[in-house]
A and B are shown apart, each in its own frame.
Chain A
Amino acid sequence: MTRKLPIRELVLFAGLLVAVLAVYGLMGAAYSTRMLVEAACYAILALGLTIQWGYAGQFNAGVMGFVALGGFCAMLFSVPTNPAFWNTELPGELGRVLLYLVAAIALVYGATKLDRLGIPKRLRTFIAIVLAVVLYMAVIGAMREVTDEIESRAGFIGGLGLPTWVGWIFGGALAGGIGYFIGRICLGLRSDYLAIATLGIAEIIKAFLKNSDWLTRGTATVSPLPWPTPGPGELGFVLARAIYLSITAVVIAAIFFLLYRAYYAPWGRMIRAIRDNEISAAAMGKDINRRRLEIFVLGCILMGIGGAALTSFNSIFDPQGYLPLNHTFLVLVMVILGGPGNNLGTIFGAVLVYIIWIMSEPLALSVMHAVTALGEGWFGWEVGGNLDSRALQARVFVIGLLISLVLRYAPKGLIPEKVPQYD
């Protein structure tokens, strides 16, 4: 392997630096640092997606769901406890219902094993299904009672009052757990099915978080969320955000280092072998589905952590704020534009796309105003009142167009994956 000076990378990163400095010059330090922190959080998400899509060819269309899970954990663990809930008998009630739930699951699981006692399989399936429905209805009924009670008396259960980083870790773990469940089902099948299933689970996670008022306050949102670092109230915006930025930078560096090691380790080689030629990898005795599951879960964990970091930073947990566009497709553009499978390219893509994204908002508004001014002048258009919200929809179009253009003209991204050659 010959080492060449990475001119392409140097030029691109220099360009990125210029862009960042330009934003600093235009928008001021506080705004720009906030943008950089958010870009860094997105970089974690993008790294999660790049190992799924770039390393292993798995397409996760539900990044939003994993981000929301991470955000939920960050909220649940870090927000102060709610005495109106804990000082009543409600925690006990809730615990009782959760025990019912565990017992119900155990019973249904037991029913699926009834055939070992000599009961015919069809009868067993029938018993298991009926039992599952009945117990489900019973548990849901009990659950509704308790949660209604919590909502009316305490608002919501509040947080656990633990340090923020605990929430981040659990956010990663929870996202990984859901990822494991999805991966187990879909990874042996056509790659399209994974995309469909992840898209679905993301909407379900969002629906759950939005409607479980007792747990998340739903549309009422929870804020403020504490930061893992001293907040802006103590240090001022710029310094506090800079410290937050350094935390996320450390996280990225750690992930980057670990991924770098893994990529060149036998494990990474195996992953790429599976991506490039599944059949021959299987023929060499690799356990394909297990490796695939590992990489998928790992990606989901990163998304959970990134989502937690992003939500903590925004200091508000709003389930409705998680949008497919902002949290799935934006990340997708970052990965495919930056270079799927290339960590450096992915980080580059994340920062670049985020700058464009943030800057496109004022741009879209001004363009829209100009266009409607023209339209009114030429065709006598009647412009509705929701002009600004419509202008932002133009960004949806641009993201879609960007995806199409990159796929067609730069399918390997700006900084393509370097496949090591051994000869």
Chain B
Amino acid sequence: MNELVFFINNVVISGTVTGSIYAMGAIGVTLVFSIMRFAHFAHADMMTLGAFMVLLLTTLFPNVGAVVGLPSALLLLPIAMALTAGAAVGIDRAFYKPLRAHDVKPIVMVIASLGVTLMLQGLIRLFAGTSSQSLYIAERKDIFRFELPFDLATRNIVVTEPQIILFVFVIVAVVSLHLFLSRSRLGKAMRAMSDNPDLARASGINTNTIVAVTWIIAGSLAAAAGTLLSLDVAFKPDLSFFLLLPIFAAAIVGGVGHPYGAIAGGFVVGFAETLAVFNWAVLLRPFRDSLPEWLDLPSNLALVGTEYKIVVPFFILVAILVWRPTGIFKGKVI
């Protein structure tokens, strides 16, 4: 039974954590893709930017959380989300909009977003340095242990406070996004514009508004994802290139331009990563005695070492591009 607990801790929980983060990033990427038709490479850095803002705010007000019994960082997250959303809109106005006005090819927008990536990275590292820092400044991370009602299970299922916050946040975010896209006038207009931008314009939909709304959603989700990730581990300014590939893989797996697909894609990639680095030998250990003599069980049965984790999203990306470039949910853009 302890093996099962180990599996739950290392695969189910950690896969859900990674998947949630990727899903939130992938939603942003896929929305930007469907409205502005380019792969937004600066997205991972928007995550870092959001987390950085939380870090700044928490450093300024380290004790606000104590009032309501939540981590200060979480309490300050909405402010950081708003700031990041504002920054996203501002970046669009300053760097993407002029290029859009010139009707450049999507790939030029990609390069522009790489320029933005570098600017954000430079600024964040200039102010935050390059080392990793914890977002728990005045508090301690709560850890919850659940005992299983079996005699054989002596170990506990371990969930940390930021992980629970993350799960709750993701559920809330996904449900509200769904309601926004399917019920609200603005959300429907967003879907309309992703379907047919010219007709949206001909219907009197103001494209600038839709673009701004897209950036607000993408920016605030990115800020939340970056912060929740940093709460779970630590704030690392140089995370972005390692987040970018899984996020894009998730968006493409889900079918680009398809927000629900992006969520599914995020969990597919997240679980694939955790399953690939999971040492399967642990699960086989209980059956060691019943295995035939000649089969010598190696101690390490992980598909890839943790240092090659980045291979997993890449492999998924390649596989999906080869077999089904539109993604599992038939995205709009190939």
Contacts and interface: CB of A to CB of B under 8 A. Distances in A.
Q: Do A and B come from one complex?
A: yes
Interface of A: 57, 59, 61, 133, 136-137, 141, 144, 185-186, 189-193, 195-197, 199-201, 203-204, 207-208, 210-211, 324-325, 329, 332, 336, 384, 386, 389-390, 393-404, 407-408, 411
Which interface class (under 10, 10 to 19, 20 to 34, 35 or more) fits B?
Answer: 35 or more
Nearest to A405: B115
A360 B332 CA distance: 44
Contact of B108 (A137, A200, A399, A411): A411
Contacts of B305: 211
Q: In terms of DSSP, what is the predominant structure of the interface of chain B? A: helix
A192 B106 contact: yes
A204 B105 contact: no
B307 interface: yes
A59, A386, A402, A404: residue with the most chain B Cβ atoms closer than 10 Å: A404
A204 B111 contact: no
B99 A408 contact: yes
A192 B116 CA distance: 16
B318 A390 contact: no
A195 B308 contact: no
Contacts of A336: 111
A407 B321 contact: no
B69 interface: no
Contacts of A395: 122
Contacts of A207: 307-308, 310-311
A208 to B, nearest CB: 7
B88 to A, nearest CB: 15
Contacts of A199: 41, 241, 244-245
Given A57-B105, A57-B107, A393-B125, A407 B115 contact: yes
B110, B120, B300: residue with the most chain A Cβ atoms closer than 10 Å: B110
B301 interface: yes
Q: In terms of DSSP, what is the predominant structure of the interface of chain A? A: helix
Contacts of A197: 314, 317-318, 321
A261 B149 CA distance: 77
B265 interface: no
A193 B318 contact: no
A329 B245 contact: no
Contacts of B313: 200
A409 to B, nearest CB: 9
Contact of B241 (A211, A324, A403, A404): A324
B192 interface: no
Nearest to B102: A411
14 contacts: A57-B105, A133-B303, A144-B300, A190-B334, A192-B110, A195-B107, A207-B311, A325-B118, A393-B122, A396-B125, A400-B114, A400-B120, A403-B114, A404-B95
Contact of B116 (A59, A136, A404): A404
A395 B121 CA distance: 10
A329 B310 contact: no
A386 B130 contact: yes
B180 interface: no
Contact of A61 (B99, B114, B300): B114
B41 A195 contact: yes
Contact of A407 (B108, B301, B325, B334): B108
Interface in B121-164: 121-123, 125-126, 129-131
A325 B130 CA distance: 15
Contacts of B110: 59, 61, 191-192, 195
B98, B111, B322: residue with the most chain A Cβ atoms closer than 10 Å: B111
B248 interface: yes
B112 interface: yes
Interface in B260-313: 298, 300-301, 303, 305, 307-308, 310-311, 313
A136 B280 CA distance: 14
Given A200-B317, A204-B311, A189 B118 contact: no
Contacts of A208: 308
Contacts of B126: 390, 393-394, 397
Contacts of B317: 196-197, 200
B21 interface: no
Given A192-B107, A403-B111, A404-B115, A397 B245 contact: no
Given A393-B121, A396-B122, A404-B116, 17 more contacts: A191-B107, A192-B110, A193-B252, A195-B39, A197-B321, A208-B308, A211-B308, A390-B126, A393-B125, A397-B119, A397-B121, A397-B123, A397-B126, A400-B116, A400-B117, A400-B119, A408-B95
B61 interface: no
B38 interface: yes
Contacts of B130: 386, 389-390, 393
Nearest to B98: A408
Nearest to A192: B39
Contacts of B119: 396-397, 400-401, 404
Closest 8 CB pairs of A and B: A397-B122, A400-B118, A403-B115, A396-B122, A400-B119, A192-B39, A393-B125, A404-B115
Contact of B248 (A141, A196, A394, A399): A196
Given A185-B318, A324-B241, A397 B118 contact: yes
B104 interface: yes
A133 B161 CA distance: 36
A295 to B, nearest CB: 15
Contacts of A400: 114-122
Interface in B34-64: 38-39, 41
B294 to A, nearest CB: 14
Nearest to B321: A185
Given A189-B334, A192-B38, A399 B118 contact: yes
Nearest to A141: B298
Contacts of A396: 118-119, 121-122, 125
B165 interface: no
Given A59-B111, A185-B321, A393-B126, A203 B118 contact: no
Contacts of B328: none
